[in-house]
Structure 1
Amino acid sequence: MDGYLGIILIVILVALLATGGMFLLFRPRERHAPPVKPPQAPTLPEREQAPPTGVIEDDTVTTTIPPPARPVEPVVVPEIEIPPPSAGRMVRLRARLARSQTSLGKGLLELLSRDRLDDDVWDEVEDTLITADVGVGPTRAMVEELRTKVKVLGSRDHGEVRGLLREQLLTLIGADMDRTLHTAPHGERPAVVLVVGVNGTGKTTTTGKLARALIGDGRKVVLGAADTFRAAAADQLQTWGERVGAEVVRKDEGADPASVAFDAVSKGIDDKVDTVIVDTAGRLHTKTGLMDELGKVKRVIEKKATVDEVLLVLDATTGQNGLRQAQVFAEVVNVTGIVLTKLDGTAKGGIVVSVQRELGVPVKLVGLGEGPDDLAPFDAEVFVDAILGNGDARP
């Protein structure tokens, strides 16, 4: 009995052990979430790779890559020219002047050298002078004087006639007028030159050429771009200044011209320059408001320095219309000198006589061409000799 009981206990024990093993064998295992991989930007094939500039984007990240540094372009500094000195410039340009004016002199000499000088001939002399813009009044006075002297001499030798004509022309042009251009500094202040005139006369070009001539003579110059109505005028003056090493004071288009002029003069005083040249807007002489503004420019300048020269630029081809312009400008700013431009392209040089006679203001400079050095001091004797051609012209 005890043996059976032992066997039964053993069987029960074995059964329990078997049941526990099966439980362990078939127990469900714990499941772990797979690791999360960080997102990666999509990769393009090698031949489709995006350039390494700009912004790269995907669904989760945006990366900005700075562009490669661009090479710095060198600043081109214009080469400063060394202008020739002004001494002798008028003599060098005499031939050019003579080519345009000789027809006037030849016509007069031919008429006065005729065997018979009747009223018809003297009328032709008058017409020739009037056509050359000498003016009716000066022409009649000159012809009357010539008629008297020819009668007294009783001779019409070519040399004598030329001498008489030369003498009368010099008297008309005013060989004894003071044509000094006041551009030298006085004390610690520079000379100030105000350049005025209507549109199209070559005013800005004259300003640049004058600066070039003064620098050629060893002067230090500041330019004031007070023509603020045209950006092109300031750009043009800037080009002139860069060519010869003159500093240009300018402001934005539409700025107050008087303030530009004031700043230019202040700059000239601070830098201790010799001459300040102020280019003004080309104003139509019929517009009173603009002419008043020109007077304001002059008054504002005078708060800092004396205005030594007011140069009125006239186109020699405009004839008597140029004379009317001169009269209006003279009333506003007290013109001290005339600059005649485009004198090389016309036989109307008699405008020199008309302007001076009406205003009592001398022609101080003449423009004889398009070249940068084609601005010269006016010399009455050289001018008359050029009109009459060779002969006793000065060397």
Structure 2
Amino acid sequence: MTDWQAVRALVPEVLGALVRRYGHFDACEDAVAEALAAAAAQWPAQGWPEDPRAWLVTVASRRLADQLRSDAARRRREEADAARTPPPPVGGPTGDDTLRLLFLCCHPALTPSSQVALTLRAVGGLSTAEIARAFLVPEATMAQRISRAKLRITAAGAAFELPPPAETAQRLGVVLHVVYLVFNEGYTATSGTQLVRAGLTDEALRLARELHRLVPDDGEVAGLLALLLLTDARRPARTAPDGSLVPLSEQDRSLWDTDAVAEGVALVTDALARGPVGPYQLQAAIAAVHDEAPTADVTDWPQILALYTVLERVAPNPTVTLNRAVAVAEVRGPSAGLALLDDLAGDERLAASHHLVSVRAHLLEMAGDRDAARAGYREAARRTTSEPERRHLLARAARLG
């Protein structure tokens, strides 16, 4: 972990300290963001403080007090409290604050895109500009999205506390989904010139580790962390020197991170043994089968197909069916896989995506229909907004003549 990653890991502690003392999540979050900006400007030139967390808490508290004083007509009571009260203690709960912040940022009143943006800002410590660059939108657009998210949280009356027990499982599921979305956007960027945005994948892994530390007995939390580790272990082999995509079947597996694979396999093995089984555990188990195969030729496709069949029952969605079709083709032949894809053709959730078209092209290539496969790859290339994926698909088409 780099020094600045370590600072970002302190964000939940600093923000939690302020929110616990002052309330007003939106104002506290702005103050912490300003403190981080000040640290980025001052520490490289003036040297790092002995206690970075205490420095951030103190500076953020001063910025918050200044903000409250500037709005005295509307917040006289808060101004007086901030002026009289010293900064919150640097000790106290930390891990619980991270979990509270994650639940708060993933409040059901927010849209999924707002949940992701606010989590990266408040829990991850990323600046608005960094988040905007990650999702390839103007900084002003992302600032508005984050601002609206904070207003919605305030309007919903959300408190800085864990939800009631009856809501915890459902809200934890949303938190896991947000971390999963952050990782996926980093691992395979949906648009732009780069296949991978390492900052997002690293941040998702950090959040998944923190969640597992806070909720070690939850099988789906362990499953998510295992899935991210097993997937990210392949990152060094996913791109060629020119930045082009290297598919799983063609990757140099000696480049995979064996420590991450071992950790992921151990996590999912333990989680599956304890039960109950959830979708993240099943996806992690599938990733483990791929990662434990020394070569693509010896991949245990029957086991992968069995796992996808269970996953489709536990968490049915068209993407799972799409992946199961590939496994079916590997086990029963491409015609069987193509028959499954025919059932997906009318699914509106896949209509505009390039994924269904590219998988169909792959299975047509397996079946020996080179002309149809070539046309499919070209159509998929036309639909994707990712430049590395577009180049890969066009290369597949060119390879067929």
Query: TM-score per shorter chain, which class?
Result: under 0.3
Greater helix share, structure number: 2
> Radius of gyration: which is bigger?
1
| Higher relative contact order (Cα pairs below 8 Å, separated by 6+ residues) | 1
TM-score in terms of structure 2 length: 0.23
